[in-house]
Structure 1
Amino acid sequence: MTDGRPDWIHPAFRLIEGEEVFGWADLAALPMPAGGVVQADRPSRVLAALAAAEAAGQGVLLARGGAESAGWQPGQGFSVTLESSGTTGTPKRLHHDFTRLRGRLRGVTEEGARWLLTYDPGAFAGLQVMLTAAAAGALLVAVPSSGAGTIAALAQAARRHAVTHVSGTPSFWRAFLMALGDADLPLAAVTLGGEAADQPLLDRLAERFPHARLRHIYASTEAGALFAVADGRAGFPAAWLDAAPDGLALRIADGVLEVRSPRAAPGAVNADGWLSTGDLVERRGDRVLFAGRLDGLVNVGGVKVSPEAVERRLLAVDGVADAAVVAVPSPITGHLLTATIVPVPGADDSALRVALRAATADLPPAARPRALTFADHIPLSAAGKKSRKGSQ
């Protein structure tokens, strides 16, 4: 720590939060709430709270509004408690050692780097972006809001500040591409995380930003930062099941990916150190591909169906800018699948409907959406994801 500045904040780091600009001195001057509980709705509050908690040698809870903070205790020593997004259920709290939390961050200075914060500041992914920018001495651009900011506002901020580094969920990127239109961005790095990256989207991003480094990251609040894939292909190499990178071990148990990682939250692993990610995967040739969430499976007439797997079928159809497949209750079959489609500008609705039906024609009847609705956008949560609540 130098003059009160923690060593993980580079002296050149700057944060633009709406119309406000923060350097280290400005962050250090922010008032800190008592008890170690911080409402993690702004990156300035989160970074200032982390620095203050480290200096005091106590824990900090980055509250996202999903659970009551009463009864939480900071404990002894500096640590960070994160709340999961609750996208598929009740939010959970995970306790992280700060050093472990920063395990895969490089902190390499890149001259002129300007990051756009698209994630909730209190989310694991948002924290990773903020810590990366802070350690590298980059400029971090944020849009204050109740969540991560509207896509239109983020696109406007990206153009205004000519951002060079953007990390977001695949759902965010689809909406962001539509909001950008033909606007040019000098992107040097395009990163995806928080959801499985599909091949059509990776191909679109590679074509749209040919000079940017393209990678998708696999991480979670429970597991920490696990690995990054930078070969432009969906999923990850099947060879990693035998020899995974970065000190990891990976295996498939009953179709679900399990990991053993030095960066996992201690309370999230079993007695042998393994963590079930809850992600369904399929090994196809030299690749392991993601096939939805185990807790996202729904019963349609006695058949277990993954709405996310069906959704990826629809996303691969020409003329589809975005899609969301959800399950709705049915008194006869338990559930039915429905699909909301965002067409690309100028798409012919009738021809697109035919193509969408054809894309799912070989699926079991239970996995075919019974209704197709066209819309101009698909709502996202503060975590930048499509909500799956209510589909069980």
Structure 2
Amino acid sequence: MAVVHPVELDGSAAAVHALARALRPHLDGHPGQVVVPLGPGEALDAMRPDLPREADTALIVRTSGSTGSAKGVLLSAAALRASATATHARLGGPGTWLLAMPAHHIAGVQVVVRSLLAGTALAVLPAGGFQGRRFVEAASDVLMAEGPRYTALVPTQLTRLLAEGGDALAAARSFDAVLVGGAATNPSTLRQAREAGINAVTTYGMSETAGGCVYDGSPLDGVRVRLVDDVIHLSGPALSHGYRLDPDNPAFADGWFRTSDLGRLVDGRLHVLGRTDDLINTGGKKVAPSAVERVLTAQVNVLEACVVGLPDPEWGEQVAAAIVSSAEVDATALRAAVRQELGPHAVPKQIHVVPDLPLRGPGKVDRAAVVQLLSPARISVERSPTRE
């Protein structure tokens, strides 16, 4: 018998329920084949199903490969249960879930796991584009259920619900909690959601931690956070036990996972500052894109922003920004706001308004695609010709 059970997820409810059936024996304490969720176009061969599986592995989740080749994250049934149990404990107890994101990513897998452990019927938002009307339809059965009602969204989905308003906003408001993760949520969107009555809970985590493990800056039960040279390290019962066919990967050591994220702790709460490999070195000064993005999205009419570094013959790299706006924006005012908050070295040399930011994975902005978009060979953008 094969030791790997691939589940191809095409966004349909039938495929999601097939994933649930494959996971259930592991969660019930009767391990069988290792479950490998596959998104559209993903091949099982990269996980080498012909080679023996690692011990105590219930699930292998592919990383997005944003920092290199995709890895297979090994997760035990105990890790999956620990994550789901801690989530329910933080939110107010087991409840009924709406799956509104791809089930081949860990955030989607964990919605399935939580539903299985709660013993409730899982509702699924089918693939085909995120629209308020479809969200309302998918949420209807969940919102009629007894007990707590939950869903999980990526920031882009939350932004669209807020922009649409009406029934879509009313449905989001009716959930007892809406987890928001998979990518950074800009503060203005989060503030707008909470002011609109949505109980939005920000989550931070990754496949290696079986999903979100820090909610609203506070670690879930059993999760430990430390900073080593400003890099976030995570530990706890939901931690992966390594990567597929890579037992000595230095990211895992002594029960800790070394992330690629920078952070700071303020009054015991974790603030994520961005990825180490996203830092922009301009004229010898380091600029964190997430800091510039927070300033930009706090300005009038700026809905979303992605800041990247572009090659510059004088400064090494220059700061550049792609923004999504609800109306006309004043680039001079945007630069002035960044200068005031972060200093002249962080001011974007280029600011370009785009209809949407390119995405990859579960709502993450595709920074490589933004770099290509802002390349001088591709478009002409407004420039600030001299260093601020």
Using structure 2 for the length normalisation, give the TM-score. Answer: 0.75
Identify the residue that residue 207 of structure 2 maps to in structure 1: 221
Please say which of residues 80-89 and 122-131 is displaced more in the overlay. Answer: 80-89
Q: What does 1:237-252 align with in structure 2 at a 5 Å threshold? A: 246-252=221-227
> Structure 1, residues 289-330: CA drift from partner, whole Å, max 9, x if none?
211111211333333322222111111113222222233333
Does the 8 Å CA contact 1:58/1:74 hold for their aligned counterparts? no
> 2: CA distance between counterparts of 1:335 and 1:139?
51
Kindly state the Cα deviation for residue 68 of structure 1 after the two structures are TM-superposed.
5.4
Q: What does 1:168-247 align with in structure 2 at a 5 Å threshold? A: 168-180=153-165, 183=168, 184-185=170-171, 186-208=174-196, 210=197, 212-225=198-211, 227-229=213-215, 235-236=217-218, 246-247=221-222
Identify the residue that residue 375 of structure 2 maps to in structure 1: none
> 2: CA distance between counterparts of 1:88 and 1:201?
27
Letter in 1 for 2:45: S
Letter in 2 for 1:173: L
More helix by share: 2
Identify the residue that residue 19 of structure 1 maps to in structure 2: none
> 2: CA distance between counterparts of 1:373 and 1:181?
31
Of 276, 289, 312, the residue aligned with 2:271 is 289
> 2: CA distance between counterparts of 1:294 and 1:129?
29
> 2: CA distance between counterparts of 1:206 and 1:68?
41
Identify the residue that residue 371 of structure 1 maps to in structure 2: 350
> 2: CA distance between counterparts of 1:142 and 1:369?
41
Kindly state the Cα deviation for residue 66 of structure 1 after the two structures are TM-superposed.
5.1
Does the 8 Å CA contact 2:263/2:274 hold for their aligned counterparts? yes
Does the 8 Å CA contact 2:278/2:289 hold for their aligned counterparts? yes
Of 101, 115, 131, the residue aligned with 2:80 is 101
Kindly state the Cα deviation for residue 225 of structure 1 after the two structures are TM-superposed.
4.3
Letter in 2 for 1:38: V
Identify the residue that residue 314 of structure 1 maps to in structure 2: 296
Using structure 1 for the length normalisation, give the TM-score. Answer: 0.74
Cα RMSD of the aligned pairs, angstroms, is 3.2
Does the 8 Å CA contact 1:78/1:98 hold for their aligned counterparts? yes
Of 33, 37, 51, the residue aligned with 2:6 is 37
> 2: CA distance between counterparts of 1:276 and 1:56?
29
Letter in 2 for 1:220: M
Residues 33 and 383 of structure 1, relative CA distance in 2, 3 Å threshold: farther
> 1: CA distance between counterparts of 2:214 and 2:21?
28
Does the 8 Å CA contact 1:58/1:79 hold for their aligned counterparts? yes
> Structure 1, residues 85-122: CA drift from partner, whole Å, max 9, x if none?
22444321111111212213247554xx4x33232211
Does residue 277 (structure 1) correspond to residue 259 (structure 2)? The answer is yes
Identify the residue that residue 255 of structure 1 maps to in structure 2: 230
Kindly state the Cα deviation for residue 77 of structure 1 after the two structures are TM-superposed.
6.4
Does the 8 Å CA contact 2:280/2:308 hold for their aligned counterparts? no
Does the 8 Å CA contact 2:178/2:200 hold for their aligned counterparts? yes
Kindly state the Cα deviation for residue 126 of structure 1 after the two structures are TM-superposed.
0.6
> 2: CA distance between counterparts of 1:377 and 1:299?
26
Q: Note the residue ranges of structure 1 that are not aligned, 5 or more in a row.
A: 1-31, 237-243
Residues 284 and 97 of structure 1, relative CA distance in 2, 3 Å threshold: closer
Does the 8 Å CA contact 1:119/1:168 hold for their aligned counterparts? yes
Q: Higher RCO, 1 or 2 (CA under 8 Å, sep at least 6)?
A: 1
> 2: CA distance between counterparts of 1:137 and 1:157?
25
SS at match of 2:296: helix
> 2: CA distance between counterparts of 1:167 and 1:143?
11
Letter in 1 for 2:187: Q
Letter in 2 for 1:157: R
Does the 8 Å CA contact 2:159/2:189 hold for their aligned counterparts? yes
Does the 8 Å CA contact 1:63/1:69 hold for their aligned counterparts? no
Letter in 2 for 1:378: L
Identify the residue that residue 146 of structure 2 maps to in structure 1: none
Does the 8 Å CA contact 2:26/2:32 hold for their aligned counterparts? yes
Identify the residue that residue 69 of structure 1 maps to in structure 2: 45
Kindly state the Cα deviation for residue 159 of structure 1 after the two structures are TM-superposed.
1.6
Kindly state the Cα deviation for residue 74 of structure 1 after the two structures are TM-superposed.
6.0
Of 16, 20, 43, the residue aligned with 1:47 is 20
> 2: CA distance between counterparts of 1:376 and 1:98?
42
Does the 8 Å CA contact 2:83/2:210 hold for their aligned counterparts? no
Does the 8 Å CA contact 1:198/1:312 hold for their aligned counterparts? yes
Does the 8 Å CA contact 1:36/1:60 hold for their aligned counterparts? yes
Residues 34 and 277 of structure 1, relative CA distance in 2, 3 Å threshold: closer
Of 115, 129, 140, the residue aligned with 2:122 is 140
Does residue 267 (structure 1) correspond to residue 242 (structure 2)? The answer is yes
Does the 8 Å CA contact 2:58/2:77 hold for their aligned counterparts? yes
Of 316, 328, 331, the residue aligned with 1:353 is 331
Kindly state the Cα deviation for residue 139 of structure 1 after the two structures are TM-superposed.
4.2
Identify the residue that residue 60 of structure 1 maps to in structure 2: 35
Does the 8 Å CA contact 1:169/1:193 hold for their aligned counterparts? yes
Does the 8 Å CA contact 1:279/1:293 hold for their aligned counterparts? yes
> Structure 1, residues 188-217: CA drift from partner, whole Å, max 9, x if none?
221112233443232111112x2x543222
> Structure 1, residues 163-190: CA drift from partner, whole Å, max 9, x if none?
5433122243223422456743133221
Letter in 2 for 1:86: G
